[in-house]
Amino acid sequence: MVSSPHEAMHRIFQQYPGLFSGVSEVLGIDFPPPTSVTVLPNDLTEASPVERRVDTLLRLDAEDGEPLLLAVEAQGGKDPDKPASWAYYASYLLTKYRLQPLLLVVCQDRATAKWAAREVNFGPRQWPLLTLRPLVAGPHNMPVITDPAGVRKDLALATLSAITHAKHPEAGVILKSMTTVLRDTPQSIANPIIELIAQGLGKHPAARLWRKLVAVDLSFYKSPLSEEIRDEGRAEGEVRRAAEDVLDILEVRGIDVPEAVRERITGCGDPEILRHWHRRAVTAPTAEDIFTDD
């Protein structure tokens, strides 16, 4: 099943096609900066019923040197079948477009990155026919950008860095530097970055921190994520007030509320149940009795 971090790690190259220049510089590979980038169809399916799709496929054109095809694959874990698929992608792309293919694998953990970076030989041990050598970007080699100046220097690279460092001990500092810069960034540029990072962080603990930072530091933005956070805040506020109303009725009636009852009421997140308890609190002889017909 495709996860949101998987989608973010390759779609960021579609959103910011020039990002590969910054990534290749970080990786120490000398590619001329492209003069144009074209997002190509990612469907590599042949006439046979087997469907094969690379995550993102870009054509990079440069003033110096021939165009090349950049296939970007987001990899969430080790998969013994992937190297063969990647080799297929490379040969298929070369055959279809008659351009030299390059594979970039983006990972969020070091073990997967180390696995993906291995050279894989295809063919007999005595005479390998093909050698697969992907470029790999991940927490082991992407810069840890913790200051706003670094973020401003290259927003796209900083976004990818924040995604690949989702598990980093300084994830909070990394994300705070992003919101510091995004506060002064035009909304049309900031919104895709806000969403990409939210998507890329997936279910990692840093995702909750990102939502809080967006709610506080970027509260004036009207992105899908910020609207979702505001809706959640309103819903949480309504639930909190409903619980307080139940407790207020019991207090006004002079009914003692044991701590266990109080915790059950304040811990309830269902507004329908709280409304039911609210009605019961008007006539219940004890606080526990508001739960009797549950």
Q: Are the C-beta atoms of residues 94 and 78 closer than 8 Å to each other?
A: no
Q: What percent of the chain has pLDDT over 90?
A: 39
pLDDT in tens, 164-214: 999 999 999 999 999 999 988 998 898 889 989 998 998 888 888 888 888
pLDDT digit string, tens, across residues 3-51:
788 888 888 888 888 888 899 889 888 888 888 888 888 887 765 555 6
Q: CA–CA separation, 291 vs 294, rounded Å?
A: 5
Q: Model confidence at 103, in pLDDT bands (50, 70, 90)?
A: very high
CA distance 174 to 148: 9
Paired with 59 in beta bridges are 38, 69
> Please, what's the b/e burial string for 29-43 (b: 16 or more CB within 10 A of its CB; e: otherwise)?
eebeebeebeebebe
| Mean pLDDT score of the chain | 86
Q: Specify burial of residue 274 (Cβ count, 10 A radius: 0-12, 13-18, 19+).
A: buried
Q: Over 80: is that where the pLDDT of 126 sits? A: yes
Rounded-to-integer distance, Cα 142 and Cα 163, Å: 10
Predicted TM-score (pTM) above 0.85: no
